[in-house]
Amino acid sequence: MEVQPEINIKKDDRDTEILRIIVSGIPTQAVAEGRPSVPLIHWRIEAVLQHCATVNPNHHYESGVAFDTALRPDVVASPFIQMQAFSHQGAKSRSSKFHPDFNVLVRGWTPMQMLEDLKTANEPLHRYRYDGESSGCLYWCKRVLTRLEEIKKIPAGSAQRLDDVVQEARIAHANIYWIPEDRGSFY
């Protein structure tokens, strides 16, 4: 079963170049079984875009396109994860608690090109399945960063840097947030 990505990228964002990539760690209201008082951190990739203001072309502002994973809303017990791509205001999610960023090395790359690359990679990253009790979103984000390193869009070592940030967060916030190590698979 192939789950198609849900795409809701604003027209103004589709062909705007990506400045940098942020991985956002966002606390969710969902509480993991066996951890009644510790919220789960959900991870997603955010492409930061820069626009020129229409009134004053010398003024720039940032927006973002999030690349996210979500459980299929139509099938509660489904192991298939839907990749989502959607525009939002600001560079990153306002609720993000952890957000390492990675500069994009090649200019002129757009959210639509990124989406197409994720879909056409040797291991398509929009076809993801998770059979556990949470989403495996951190593993998906690490695979996306690894892919972006392979095609030289972000610096080598970025995925390892994310691992370092996550490990520091696990130690520093162990009683505040649960950061699972779950892994899904691509099909």
Report the domain count for the chain.
1
Q: Is residue 187 part of a domain?
A: no
Q: Is residue 1 part of a domain?
A: no
Q: Is residue 186 part of a domain?
A: no
More confident position, 164 or 73: 164
| Domain with 137 in it | 6-179
- Whole-prediction pTM: 0.86
Q: Is residue 37 part of a domain?
A: yes
Q: Is the pLDDT of residue 160 over 90?
A: yes
Q: Is residue 147 part of a domain?
A: yes
Q: What is the pLDDT of residues 31-89, one digit of tens each?
A: 555 655 668 888 999 999 988 766 666 777 788 999 998 876 665 556 778 889 999 88
Q: Is residue 55 part of a domain?
A: yes
Mean pLDDT, residues 103-114 taken together? 86
Q: Is residue 184 part of a domain?
A: no
Q: Is residue 151 part of a domain?
A: yes
Q: What is the pLDDT of residues 109-153, one digit of tens each?
A: 899 999 998 888 778 888 888 766 556 889 999 999 999 999 999
- Ordered DSSP codes for the chain: -PPPPEEE--HHHHTSPEEEEEEEEEEEEEE-TT-TT-EEEEEEEEEEEEEE-SS-TT-EEEEEEEEEEEE-TT-TT--EEEEEEEEEESSS-TT-SB--EEE-SSTT--HHHHHHHHHHSSS-TTEEE--SSS--HHHHHHHHHHHHHHTTSS-TTHHHHHHHHHHHHHHHTTTT-B------EE-
